[in-house]
Structure formats: C-alpha cells, structure tokens
Amino acid sequence: MTFAYQILIHTPLWVWILLAYLVWQGVQAMQTRTTAIWRALVVPVVFIVWGMSRIGFGPQDNSWPLVAWIAAALALLPLGVLTPRPFDVDPATGQIIRPGSAFALIRNLVVFSLQYAVGVVSAIDASDRAFAIIFGRAVSGATAGYFVGSTVALLVAYRTRRAAAGGA
C-alpha cells in the first residue's frame, strides 16, 4: 500500500489533469457530437507529443531504445490509418459529426495507462533497467505511430468528404 501511495503522491499534477481531460473527452465521445476539425485533433496531438517526448538521446542510451521506438511506431502507424473512426461532414459549417462510441474512452484509458506505467517504471530503479527503457520506448513509439496514422486518416477523409460536400 505504501508503494502505491508513494507512486500516486509523486505523480505530477499535470498527469492527473491530463487524465481528467482524457476521461472527459472519452465520455463526451460516447454521444453523437458535432465539432470543428481542429478540436478532433487535440487528443491525437497530445498523445503524439507524449509518445515523441520519450525518444530521448541520453548518454546512457544505446541504439536499441531508438530502434524499439521506430519499430513500434512503424508497426502501429498502419493500424491508425486503417481503423479510422466514422464521421460525416456538415456541408454548411465544415464541422465533423461523429456518432457516439465508447472507443475513444477505452483507447484513451489504455494508452494513458501504458504511458503512466512506463513513466512509473522509468522513475523507479528497476532491476532490469535496460528492458524497462526499451519497453518504454516501444510503448511511446506505438502511441505516436498509432495517433499519427489516425490523424492522417482523419485529415484525408475530412478533406475528401468536405470536397464531395462542396465545401472549401
């Protein structure tokens, strides 16, 4: 219990704010909603930046963490491209209309949990530090790759649907 408590109290405040935001976004996504395209990109950008923030090139790092990051990013990028969330475009406003789904909430919580676990493992003195670093880079690369792929798919589909609807 003390170990878990120490982890919780040493977690930076911004992490809890981010978790609250991701849960809020996920709960909102459970209902059909209309939003501007830029708002649909906020969560993917947060996860892309978070995933890229762990690339790291410290003096203790060898090339394996970077290889793990790149391999995981390349592995999950196609998944992001091939599994876009459905949406329509309002031809009058250019806003996207997304049907409600629990997918965003589940995805946000899974990715947050993985990233949080990586942060915790990185912060403690693990007995197998090299494995923890490589695993952490792989999770971060997978996160960035998936969200880059899903962002590309969203933007391409948005542009196509907006043009078909007669928008700019």
pLDDT digits (tens, 9 = 90+) for 71-115: 999 999 999 999 888 899 998 898 999 999 999 899 899 989 988
pLDDT at 24: 95
3-state helix, strand, coil in the chain (%, to 5): 70, 5, 25
pLDDT confidence tier of residue 153, bands split at 50, 70 and 90: very high
Please state the domain count of the chain.
Answer: 1
Nearest to 112 by CA among 43, 66, 57, 55: 43
pTM: 0.79
Q: What is the extent of the structural domain holding 126?
A: 2-164
Query: What burial class does residue 135 get, using C-beta atoms within 10 Å of its C-beta: 0-12 exposed, 13-18 middle, 19+ buried?
Result: buried
Q: Which of 28-32, 51-55, 138-142 has the lowest mean pLDDT?
A: 51-55
